[in-house]
Amino acid sequence: MNTIEFNKLLKRRIALTNKVLESKNKEYATDLDKCHNFKRAGAMLGVAPEQALVGMWSKHLISILDIVDKINKQKVSKEMLEEKIGDAVNYLILLEALIKERFRYD
């Protein structure tokens, strides 16, 4: 992939990330806490919110691993690829938010 194509991909990914995180915030977060669901899940399971997030994220990572395992046998749709990669990226951003909040990083 050349630089122009990569930059186009990057811009699209950033735009999709913004769109999904904004729309999902209404479903999974509160106005006061964007990581509400992970904190609630962690409390329910008796683990740290970060651990709850990693448990939920593992479902998305497994989907990506399944795509990679089948890469030589089956073409994945553009829509599925974008969704699965987007889910993984979004969970990493949310994990970063939880960790930075825990340690009070700027």
Angle between helix 49-69 and 36-45 (nearest 10): 100
- Alpha carbon of 74 to those of 30, 64, 70, 88: distances in Å? 40, 13, 6, 21
Domain count, the chain: 1
| pLDDT, tens only, 41-69 | 999 999 999 999 999 999 999 999 999 99
Q: Which domain holds residue 38?
A: 3-103
Of the candidates 85, 90, 89, the residue with the CA atom closest to the CA atom of residue 21: 90
The answer to whether the pTM exceeds 0.85 is yes
